C-alpha cells in the first residue's frame, strides 16, 4: 500500500466533507484509481517504445544481432528487478525524488480542490510518484516481446492495486492490520523474485547459453 495508501488517507482527510454522500466518495475513489491506471499505461507505453527504439538503433550501430543484444539487456533488467524486489522488502531509500517544484505544487493544488475530476488528476500525478514496485513493473514491461504484452503488464499493476486501495479508502485504512500487511508484503516479494529470475533466464536463453 505504501505511498499510494498515504495519498488515499490524505485526500480522504482533505477533500472529503463530513456530510459527503457515500456514492460521491465511491466515485472519487474510482476516479483516483482510474487516474493511476491511466498513468501506468502511459508510462509503460513511452518506456517500451523508447527502449525498443534505442535497442534497434544500437543493434544497427554496433552491428550486433538484435536477439543477443536484447538478451544481454534482459539479464541486466532482471538484475535490476532483483534489486527492486529486495528494496521492496528491506525498504531501501528511494534515490529518485519528485517532492519539490511543480509536482509538489500540483499535489497541493489538487488536495485543496473538491471537484470529482480533481481525483482523476490526483491519480495521474500519483502514477508518477517514485515507487520501487512501479519501477519493477516498468522493467517487466520492457522485457516483454511486444507492445501489447508490455501494456498488459502495466494494466495488471493498475488492476492489482485498484481493489485494495479502493477498499482501503472506503474503510479509511482500518481494514488492514499490520499482520495482514506483512503477509502481503512477503507474498509480493516471492512473486517479484520469481519474475526477476524468469527474466534473467529468458535473457541468458536469448544469448544462446541455454
Residue 162 banded pLDDT, cuts 50, 70, 90: confident
* Per-residue model confidence as pLDDT tens digits over 87-99: 656 655 554 455 5
Q: Answer whether residue 21 shows pLDDT above 80.
A: yes
Angle formed by the axes of helices 117-126 and 101-111, nearest 10°: 150
Residue 181 banded pLDDT, cuts 50, 70, 90: low
pLDDT score at 176: 45
CA distances from 12 to 25, 140, 171, 176, 205 (A): 9, 32, 10, 17, 48
d(CA 124, CA 69) in angstroms, rounded, equals 34
Q: Rounded to the nearest 10 degrees, how much is the dihedral formed by the CA atoms of 13, 18, 24, 30?
A: 20
d(CA 160, CA 25) in angstroms, rounded, equals 21
Q: Answer whether residue 29 shows pLDDT above 80.
A: yes
The mean predicted confidence, pLDDT, of the chain is 77
pLDDT score at 175: 43
Between 64 and 98, the more confident residue is: 64
Is 166 in contact with 37 (CB distance < 8 Å)? no
Q: What are phi and psi of 94, to 5 degrees?
A: -70, 125
Q: Which residues of 93-110 are buried (b: 16+ CB within 10 A; e: fewer)?
A: eeeeeeeeeeeeebbeeb
Is 157 in contact with 55 (CB distance < 8 Å)? no
In Å, the largest CA–CA distance within the chain is 66
Q: Answer whether residue 34 shows pLDDT above 90.
A: yes
d(CA 73, CA 146) in angstroms, rounded, equals 15
What DSSP line would sit under 122-152, residue for residue? HHHHHTTS--HHHHHHHHHHHTSSSHHHHHH
Q: Rounded to two decimals, what is the model's pTM?
A: 0.68
Is 87 in contact with 135 (CB distance < 8 Å)? no
pLDDT score at 178: 53
Is 85 in contact with 189 (CB distance < 8 Å)? yes
Amino acid at each position: 500500500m505504501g505511498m499510494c495508501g498515504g495519498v488515499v488517507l490524505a485526500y480522504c482527510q482533505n477533500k472529503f466533507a463530513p456530510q459527503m454522500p457515500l456514492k460521491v466518495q465511491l466515485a472519487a475513489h474510482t476516479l483516483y484509481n482510474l487516474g493511476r491506471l491511466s498513468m501506468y499505461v502511459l508510462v509503460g507505453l513511452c518506456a517500451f517504445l523508447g527502449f525498443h527504439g534505442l535497442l534497434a538503433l544500437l543493434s544497427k550501430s554496433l552491428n550486433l544481432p538484435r536477439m543477443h543484444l536484447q538478451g544481454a539487456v534482459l539479464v541486466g533488467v532482471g538484475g535490476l528487478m532483483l534489486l527492486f524486489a529486495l528494496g521492496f522488502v528491506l525498504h531501501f531509500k528511494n534515490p529518485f525524488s519528485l517532492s519539490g517544484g511543480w509536482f509538489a505544487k500540483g499535489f497541493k493544488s489538487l488536495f485543496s480542490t473538491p471537484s470529482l475530476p480533481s481525483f482523476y488528476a490526483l491519480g495521474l500525478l500519483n502514477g508518477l510518484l517514485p515507487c520501487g514496485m512501479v519501477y519493477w513493473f516498468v522493467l517487466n514491461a520492457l522485457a516483454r516481446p511486444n507492445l501489447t504484452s508490455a501494456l498488459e503488464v502495466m494494466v495488471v499493476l493498475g488492476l492489482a492495486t485498484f481493489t485494495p486501495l479502493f477498499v482501503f479508502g472506503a474503510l479509511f485504512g482500518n481494514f488492514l492490520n499490520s499482520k495482514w500487511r506483512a503477509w502481503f508484503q512477503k507474498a509480493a516479494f516471492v512473486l517479484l523474485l520469481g519474475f526477476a529470475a524468469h527474466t534473467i533466464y529468458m535473457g541468458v536463453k536469448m544469448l544462446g547459453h541455454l
